[in-house]
A and B are shown apart, each in its own frame.
Chain A
Amino acid sequence: MQYEITLAVFMGINIIFAQSLNMITGFCGQISLGHAAFYGTGAYCSALMAKAGVPIPVCILAAMAAAGLFGLIVGFASLRVRHDFLAITTMGVGFLFIGIVRQQDFLGGEMGVFGIPGIVDDKFQFMVVVLVLAALVIALAVYLKHSWLGFAFDAIAQDEDTARTVGIGVARYKLTAFVIGTALAGLAGALYAHHVKFIGIDSFGFVESVTVLSMVIVGGIGSIWGVTITAAVLSVLPLWLQFVSDYKLLLYGLLLFVVMRFSPDGLDGLLRWILRRLIGGIGRRVMADKA
């Protein structure tokens, strides 16, 4: 049972993390290759405050605020640079984050931070907390997508210049997307820190950023259910198939490549295509009957 609980906790954390990136990259179209930096910010912030004796709910809120603030700063970068330039800039932010943390002794440097207090002693209760939070984040994503905010995000994702022409305040909405997305990444990071109780800089590098991006893209950029399922499956896949664990990265890499190469819209696009074929098939048959 312990093992299943751990799996469920990882699934919950990864769902929050992937949805947080989905809001920036999926809803608002701003590609990020450095999302793990915000995850890391949340983890370090909450871990250090909890070790200093601050009540954990306060730590988590502070972690979200810190990650969101960091996200706001990076969001300003997204106002200056676009597309490929933004991808490289966010990648740079990721490297800058680990490069700076590594040199700071009060952040644990190479050694990392250990002895982080847990949220609740009981594993099961913790799992419930994480899963409820994940469900709330999914609900927020659904709400956002169908709100005015979501429509504005979508307009920016489709065509930034046109969005500006029809009077959408592009800068404001982009920053909003970054702040919401990165604050949620901070939440995921904080939960991660309180779950594993030890954090090292290696958990927040480029590979992590690419992993979470792969969850979003394999699921289908902007698709809430697609990203949720992919995040859940990809986070337990390596744990389930222990023999795969050595090939985990190879698998991720090939998966990303194959999905982009053959189904650029991800799981969501694949399912839509299948549905269309099915409905098309039925439609043809109905037409044939009439004739």
Chain B
Amino acid sequence: MIFVELILQGLIQGSIYALIAVGLTLVYGLLRILHIAHAALFTLGAYLGLLITNATGSLALGFLVAMVVVGIAGIAIYRFCYHDVLDQPPHVALIASVGLFIAMEEGFRLIWGPTSISFTEPPWQAAVVLGGIQVKTADLVTIPLAIVLIGGLAAIVAFTRIGLAWRATVTDPAMAGSFGIDALKVRYLNFFLGSALAAAAGVMFAILANFVEPTMGGVPSYKALAIIVLGGLGNVRGTLIAALMLGVIESFGTIYLGWAMDRDAIAFAFLILVLMVRPQGLFARS
């Protein structure tokens, strides 16, 4: 029974990771930038979702506002942070992104205070017994939510005109540009959708843990970086598989490796181990 429970917990955690990591890997696929500040968008989403839910009592509104506002914030980050350093060596964008992330985290601390905030009425707390395992409704919601959101993203990419333009730009930016595709519009869309998913992950994380704090973005997002590297940078399918895998490995690792290292180190131990064997990640594109 404990195995089933650990796998379930792992998949729930993995779904959150997947929602964060998809945005990161999309940004990498399009621009070859490691978008560390994505972590701050996750935190921003969690704050907005929680504060709006507390103010209005509507969780749906919380999700909606968080996703839209954070999506726009993502576009702003692209425009003001990355747009003008694209032709610089890759470490420039990386460090600028780290700087922005730290500054944003501190900004949250100054605005909303260093201590954590909770829901006044935590949603989805009812316990459900499922085949002998007791779980919260929130746990059960996480996985379908991730499937719906990522499925929606996949549908946009697969079936819309802008999705087509997006795929063309990722494959060959110069060629896509010469066919009249507006690269800027594609990038804006990319950042909007990726950031909105991170915001959804943030709200969901806040519901599961029932708190938000300024530094909450750090650890899940560093792990998301590990995940996109494992998935073969820029590879969306690989990223999803790696996210779920890491979630499960962590939940088992916490039990069986807890004496040697803490939960957060397990992800990176796994990452380093994999990279030593396959430097291009588990699911690299050829």
Q: Of the candidates A83, A100, A247, which one forms a contact with B261 in the assembled complex, judged by CB atoms under 8 Å apart?
A: A100
CA distance A255 to B226 in the complex (A): 26
Is residue A45 contacting chain B, with contact meaning CB distance below 8 A?
Answer: no
CB neighbours (8 Å) of A33 from chain B are 98
Q: Which of A81-127 contact B (CB under 8 A)?
A: 81-85, 87-89, 91-93, 95-96, 98-100, 102-103
A-B pairs, top 4 by smallest CB distance, nearest first, are A99-B265, A256-B99, A253-B103, A253-B102
CA distance A96 to B102 in the complex (A): 21
Given contacts A256-B96, A261-B85, contact A96 B101 (CB under 8 A): no
Is residue B91 contacting chain A, with contact meaning CB distance below 8 A?
Answer: yes
Identify the A interface with B (CB < 8 A). Answer: 31, 33, 77, 80-85, 87-89, 91-93, 95-96, 98-100, 102-103, 206-207, 210, 213-214, 217, 221, 247, 249-250, 252-261, 264
Q: Of the candidates A80, A96, A254, which one forms a contact with B279 in the assembled complex, judged by CB atoms under 8 Å apart?
A: A80
CB neighbours (8 Å) of B81 from chain A are 257, 261
- Taking a contact as CB atoms under 8 Å apart, the answer to whether B229 and A256 are in contact is no
Is residue B151 contacting chain A, with contact meaning CB distance below 8 A?
Answer: no
CA distance A77 to B272 in the complex (A): 8
CB neighbours (8 Å) of B88 from chain A are 264
CB neighbours (8 Å) of A207 from chain B are 102
CB neighbours (8 Å) of A96 from chain B are 261, 265, 268-269, 272
Nearest-Cβ distance from residue B41 to partner chain A, whole angstroms: 15
11 A-B pairs with CB atoms under 8 Å apart are A84-B34, A88-B34, A103-B259, A103-B260, A210-B102, A250-B102, A250-B103, A253-B103, A253-B104, A257-B81, A260-B95
Among B92, B225, B268, residue most surrounded by chain A Cβ atoms (within 10 Å): B268
Q: Which of B222-258 contact A (CB under 8 A)?
A: 222, 225-226, 229, 233, 258
CA distance A206 to B101 in the complex (A): 13
Is residue B127 contacting chain A, with contact meaning CB distance below 8 A?
Answer: no
Identify the B interface with A (CB < 8 A). Answer: 28, 32, 34, 81, 84-85, 88-96, 98-107, 110, 218, 222, 225-226, 229, 233, 258-269, 271-272, 275-276, 279, 281
Q: Which residue of A lies closest to B80 (CB)?
A: A261
Q: Of the candidates B28, B85, B92, B106, which one forms a contact with A249 in the assembled complex, judged by CB atoms under 8 Å apart?
A: B106
Q: Which residue of B lies closest to A95 (CB)?
A: B268
- Taking a contact as CB atoms under 8 Å apart, the answer to whether A260 and B85 are in contact is yes
Among A84, A207, A258, residue most surrounded by chain B Cβ atoms (within 10 Å): A84
- Taking a contact as CB atoms under 8 Å apart, the answer to whether A85 and B229 are in contact is yes
Among A99, A102, A206, A258, residue most surrounded by chain B Cβ atoms (within 10 Å): A99
CB neighbours (8 Å) of A259 from chain B are 99
Among B28, B260, B262, B267, residue most surrounded by chain A Cβ atoms (within 10 Å): B262
Q: Which residue of B lies closest to A104 (CB)?
A: B260
- Taking a contact as CB atoms under 8 Å apart, the answer to whether B95 and A217 are in contact is yes
How many contacts A-B (CB < 8 Å)?
Answer: 140
- Taking a contact as CB atoms under 8 Å apart, the answer to whether B103 and A91 are in contact is no
- Taking a contact as CB atoms under 8 Å apart, the answer to whether B92 and A88 are in contact is no
Q: Of the candidates B89, B233, B264, which one forms a contact with A95 in the assembled complex, judged by CB atoms under 8 Å apart?
A: B264
CB neighbours (8 Å) of A100 from chain B are 260-261, 265
Nearest-Cβ distance from residue B134 to partner chain A, whole angstroms: 29
Q: Which residue of A lies closest to B89 (CB)?
A: A264
CB neighbours (8 Å) of A82 from chain B are 279
- Taking a contact as CB atoms under 8 Å apart, the answer to whether B101 and A213 are in contact is no
CB neighbours (8 Å) of A264 from chain B are 85, 88-89, 92
CB neighbours (8 Å) of B110 from chain A are 247, 250
- Taking a contact as CB atoms under 8 Å apart, the answer to whether B222 and A253 are in contact is no
- Taking a contact as CB atoms under 8 Å apart, the answer to whether A213 and B95 are in contact is yes
Q: Which residue of A lies closest to B262 (CB)?
A: A99
CB neighbours (8 Å) of B266 from chain A are 99
CB neighbours (8 Å) of B34 from chain A are 84, 87-88
CB neighbours (8 Å) of A221 from chain B are 91
Among A31, A87, A88, A254, residue most surrounded by chain B Cβ atoms (within 10 Å): A88
Q: Which residue of B lies closest to A76 (CB)?
A: B276
CB neighbours (8 Å) of A103 from chain B are 258-262
Q: Of the candidates B32, B84, B89, B102, which one forms a contact with A256 in the assembled complex, judged by CB atoms under 8 Å apart?
A: B102
- Taking a contact as CB atoms under 8 Å apart, the answer to whether A92 and B268 are in contact is yes
- Taking a contact as CB atoms under 8 Å apart, the answer to whether B264 and A99 are in contact is yes
Nearest-Cβ distance from residue A146 to partner chain B, whole angstroms: 24
CB neighbours (8 Å) of A206 from chain B are 218, 222
- Taking a contact as CB atoms under 8 Å apart, the answer to whether A89 and B92 are in contact is no
Q: Which residue of B lies closest to A211 (CB)?
A: B102
CA distance A89 to B263 in the complex (A): 17
User: 6 additional contacts, CB 8 Å, given A261-B84, A264-B89?
Assistant: A77-B272, A91-B222, A92-B267, A95-B264, A252-B102, A253-B103
CA distance A17 to B246 in the complex (A): 34
CA distance A99 to B272 in the complex (A): 14
CA distance A259 to B103 in the complex (A): 13
Nearest-Cβ distance from residue B217 to partner chain A, whole angstroms: 12
CA distance A217 to B266 in the complex (A): 30
Q: Which residue of A lies closest to B104 (CB)?
A: A253
CA distance A164 to B26 in the complex (A): 32
Q: Which residue of A lies closest to B33 (CB)?
A: A84
